[in-house]
Amino acid sequence: MLLGKKRKLGRKIEDITIGEKLKLTEKIEDKDLLLYLGLTNDGNPLYIQHDFASTTSFEKPVVPNIMLTGIVTSAVSKYMPGPGSYICEQHLVFKKPVYHYATVDFLLEVTDVDVRGNLATIRVEGTDEEGAICIEGKIVAQPPKTSNKLTTQAMENF
């Protein structure tokens, strides 16, 4: 079985400690919104139509929550624990809407490490430009764990 080119994997569960933090800042740009809408074919006017959004309680277009979720899950895949990770549980609460062109500061913090179960629990918090929490919750991820399966078969006479 060919495995393709060798890629760097994220950290193993033994290398992760409670209290580790990752901070990142994302500015929501038009290109991000258009990519999301194009990929999902989500035509919700609340996301893209200023005239429609102005008639709602939001007053202006909002960023789809699934886009914000994608930023969080991408941070898990890239950095904490990193490439090869698998998210097996997530619970995110969207406390207030995020609007177009907003800047969101994300904080991810490891709150539990289960070495036996190969699971890391990560608290998630996102704050907007005013410092208000717009997203909070948790993600449970399995850090990369490779098996020692043979990729070729060798026969030897004993």
The model's pLDDT over 67-107, given as tens digits with 9 standing for 90+, comes to: 999 999 999 999 989 999 999 999 999 999 999 999 999 99
Does CATH place domain 13-142 in 3.10.129.10?
Answer: yes
Confidence band of 31 (pLDDT split at 50, 70, 90): confident
Instruction: With residue 45 as reference, give the H or E element that holds it.
Output: helix 45-48
Confidence band of 41 (pLDDT split at 50, 70, 90): confident
Prediction pTM value: 0.82
Burial class (CB in 10 A: 0-12, 13-18, 19+), 3: exposed
Domain ranges of the chain: 13-142
Q: Say yes or no to pLDDT of 2 above 50.
A: no
